[in-house]
């Protein structure tokens, strides 16, 4: 694997694709294609209770019908757990992780708020209280920082220790956390460019830190605006975003291109999918992608 550009789209199979996921797919796909690179598809199916039966098939069928063509076999995170175990083992050997017995309630009582919820107060850093059982494995973030040049948002700098705190890499119920799994996959599978929604901007900082600790190559990042509903909530399965109609590609792809600032001409809505993708590949410019999230009602 030595492509100069290797990107990926990594949906969670907790339901059918919605407009927000299509925006991320379109952005990452066009960046890969206009760089002559590879575009891989990864299914983030580690959190088994969240995986909805039939969702993987629905996602694959939808992407096919929208004319996306991915390289290589589909990567399933559920088949990559030996790699995550090895990464966690390596961090444990170096004393960089520790077991934590705290419940959400324990943490809420002692924590200050960070960029995304409470910052872990460090209760179990020097060992759990006697008689308590580990609920999670956390990463030490003492002095942790991440700095990166985002392809859309420009220079980003994060003080992970104070903004996020020691974060969870593994849960006692046997699930590897997104930050560990995603970092290991991107690093080990040679992804050079991560293009995804800005809702994952803080995650990227943590993943860059994990990649550095594991000695894996750090990809370039570009974070796309996220689609929100009229009340300003991110479109997601949780906010009951309407699943898209995969049988009508132009009705999904043209609005996604418009949302990404690419100004597709109105007549693209009536053309066949090949012509539409040709137009998109010829005219795609990451520099036109807006920095801020917006509502679809525009
Ligand atoms: Zn703890």
- Give the Å distance between the CA of 123 and the centre of ligand 1: 5
pTM of full prediction above 0.85: yes
CA dist., res. 92 & res. 99, Å (int): 10
> Which residues in 218-246 are b (16+ Cβ under 10 Å) and which e?
bbbbbbbbbbbbeeeebbbbeeebeebeb
- Give the Å distance between the CA of 147 and the centre of ligand 1: 27
Helix axes 178-188, 201-213, angle to 10 degrees: 60
More confident residue, 87 or 270: 87
Per-residue pLDDT tens digits for 277-291: 999 999 999 999 999
pLDDT at 171 over 90: yes
- Three-state secondary structure along 3-30? CCCEEEECCCCCCCCEHHHHHHHHHHHH
Please, where are the H alpha helices in the chain?
19-34, 55-65, 81-93, 104-110, 160-163, 178-188, 201-213, 249-259, 273-283
Mean pLDDT of 72-76: 97
Average pLDDT of every residue of the chain: 92
- Give the Å distance between the CA of 12 and the centre of ligand 1: 28
- Cβ partners under 8 Å of residue 177, min gap 6: 167, 168, 169, 170, 171
More confident residue, 221 or 106: 221
- Give the Å distance between the CA of 110 and the centre of ligand 1: 11
Mean pLDDT of 21-41: 97
| pLDDT score at 120 | 94
Residue 49 in 3-state DSSP?
helix
- Give the Å distance between the CA of 145 and the centre of ligand 1: 22
- Give the Å distance between the CA of 97 and the centre of ligand 1: 12
- Give the Å distance between the CA of 88 and the centre of ligand 1: 18
């Amino acid at each position: 694997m030595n492509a100069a550009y290797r990107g990926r789209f990594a949906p969670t199979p907790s339901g059918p694709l919605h407009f927000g996921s299509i925006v991320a797919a379109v952005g990452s796909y066009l960046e890969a294609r206009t760089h002559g690179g590879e575009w891989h598809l990864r299914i983030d199916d580690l959190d088994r209770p969240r995986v909805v039966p039939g969702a993987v098939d629905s996602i694959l069928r939808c992407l096919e019908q929208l004319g996306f063509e991915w390289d290589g076999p589909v990567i399933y995170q559920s088949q990559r757990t030996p790699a995550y175990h090895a990464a966690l083992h390596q961090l444990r050997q170096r004393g960089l992780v520790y077991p934590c017995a705290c419940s959400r309630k324990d943490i809420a009582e002692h924590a200050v708020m960070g960029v995304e919820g409470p910052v872990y107060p460090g209760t179990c850093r020097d060992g759990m209280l006697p008689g308590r059982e580990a609920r999670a494995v956390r990463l030490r973030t003492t002095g942790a920082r991440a700095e990166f040049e985002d392809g859309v948002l420009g220079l980003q700098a994060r003080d992970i220790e104070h903004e996020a705190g020691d974060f969870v890499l593994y849960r006692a119920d046997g699930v590897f956390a997104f930050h560990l799994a995603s970092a290991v996959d991107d690093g080990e599978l040679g992804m050079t460019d991560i293009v995804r929604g800005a809702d994952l901007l803080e995650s990227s900082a943590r993943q860059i830190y994990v990649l550095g600790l594991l000695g894996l190559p750090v990809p370039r990042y570009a974070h796309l605006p996220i689609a929100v509903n009229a009340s300003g909530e991110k479109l997601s399965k949780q906010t009951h975003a309407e699943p898209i109609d995969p049988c009508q590609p132009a009705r999904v792809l043209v609005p996604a291109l418009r949302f990404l600032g690419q100004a597709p001409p109105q007549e693209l809505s009536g053309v066949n999918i090949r012509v539409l993708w040709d137009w998109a590949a010829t005219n795609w410019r990451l520099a036109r992608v807006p920095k801020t999230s917006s509502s679809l009602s525009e």
